[in-house]
Amino acid sequence: MTAELKSNLISSVQAAANQAGMVLISTSQGSDFHGQPTAVFEFGLPNAEAPGRTLKLELSEGFEFDKPDLLPSMSAHLAAQAKRLRNPRPECYVTLAGLPVEFGRFQWPFHRSTSGADTYIVHGEMHLADGGTHNLHAKLAASVTLTFAEIVPAMEQPYAESFVYNAVRKTVDYGQLEFLKSGNRQPVPVTTRYYSRWQKKFLFTETNDAERLEYLLRKVYWLSGVLGESKPVWIADPRDAQYLNTTEADLLRMAGHEAGEGLMVLGGEFAAATPALLARTDEYRAKLEEALNFTKPQFNESMRSGHANM
């Protein structure tokens, strides 16, 4: 990659960051799964708005904005990330069943499978983020089929991070990822079942108002109340809207209802936990244990005792 093209990549990312209201702090060279060079960008918010919180973006060093929708999509990704950086814990999310999780150590961009399968792979980790010190986590290997890859603008972080994170959450919802203190990578298949070609959008979970409302309460309880010292978290996150198959406006509408009930304090698109919500600790801890147990392998005790009817 020539110095001129490298300069073009940096200037394009800088322009996208400016449009998103972010500050480009640094650029450096990294390496991908195969040891090939990558371009690593670190962003922050202006005026020390979120001190100590930065965002890392890693692209293939040879990546080019050679399609008309790539740069606008990059700007939209960074604009959403700018709002997530205002969260006390920007790397944390909640599953529909009530598990607070932290995503990290993703090795972007995707790489082709080394096993001979026609898939793209990205490795990462997900930790249980309930404020404990247990180190329960899952090492992840998210795989995207070549057919699925055809609908993705580029197999790079800003164009894939949302649907990968949501596929991981959905796999947890299925009980197909186990939280361990150590272990091998666990597969997360990302297939066309998560995408409607007719509607041209991702579809992960069909939810109703009651389920979305409970999701928001759990999100604010964990991410604001437990992990964030009751500081506000972003409610109108399009990543959550995609996961729940709803809209950002609908999430805000529901948050407004709960603010009226005294369970959260709503300010714009952000909401903070109230003492009334934090008083539900026993309920949400019980839900966490229930959801965690669902991810553990279940054994047939009669077969273990030798009473199988075969």
Task: Tell me the pLDDT tens digit for each residue of 12-42.
Answer: 999 999 999 999 999 999 999 999 999 999 9
Confidence of residue 3 (pLDDT cuts 50, 70, 90): low
Domains of the chain: 22-65 (no CATH), 209-294 (1.10.10)
Say what the pLDDT of residue 50 is. Answer: 77
Compute the average pLDDT of residues 35-60.
Answer: 91
What is the per-residue pLDDT across 195-232, written as a single tens digit (0 to 9) for each? 998 898 999 999 999 999 999 999 999 999 999 999 99
248-260 vs 209-219: helix axis angle to the nearest 10?
A: 70
Q: Cα(62)–Cα(109) distance, rounded to whole angstroms? A: 11
Whether the per-residue pLDDT at 244 is higher than 80: the answer is yes
Say what the pLDDT of residue 305 is. Answer: 43
Say what the pLDDT of residue 301 is. Answer: 42
What is the per-residue pLDDT across 259-269, written as a single tens digit (0 to 9) for each? 889 999 999 99
Mean pLDDT for all residues in the chain: 91
Q: φ, ψ for residue 211 (rounded to 5)?
A: -70, -40
Tokens, residue 127: 């930790």
Sheet arrangement for strand 270-273: 233-234, 270-273, 264-267
- The rounded radius of gyration (Å) of the Cα atoms in the chain is 20
One-letter identity of residue 232: P
Say what the pLDDT of residue 56 is. Answer: 96
What is the per-residue pLDDT across 68-120, written as a single tens digit (0 to 9) for each? 999 999 999 999 999 999 999 999 999 999 999 999 999 999 999 887 778 99
Residues with Cβ within 8 Å of 86's Cβ and at least 6 positions away in sequence, in order, are 45, 49, 50, 232, 234, 270
Three-state SS across the chain? Answer: CCHHHHHHHHHHHHHHHHHHCCEEEEEEEEECCCCCEEEEEEEECHHHCCCCCCEEEEEECCCCCCCCCHHHHHHHHHHHHHHHCCCCCCCEEECCCCCEEEEECCCCCCEECCCCCCEEEEEEEEEECCCCCCCCEEEEEEEEEHHHHCCCCCCCHHHHHHHHHHHHHHHHHCCCCCCECCCCCEEEEECHHHEECCCCEECCCCCCHHHHHHHHHHHHHHHHHHCCCCCCEECCCHHHHHHHCCCHHHHHHHHHHHHHCCCEEEECCEEEECHHHHCCHHHHHHHHHHHHHHCCCCCCHHHHCCCCCC
Residue 142 near residue 188 (C-beta atoms within 8 A): yes
Say what the pLDDT of residue 259 is. Answer: 85
Tokens, residue 133: 């010190």
Query: By C-alpha distance, which of 304, 223, 236, 300 is closest to 266?
Result: 236
Say what the pLDDT of residue 289 is. Answer: 96
Confidence of residue 183 (pLDDT cuts 50, 70, 90): confident
What is the per-residue pLDDT across 121-146, written as a single tens digit (0 to 9) for each? 999 999 999 998 888 999 999 999 98
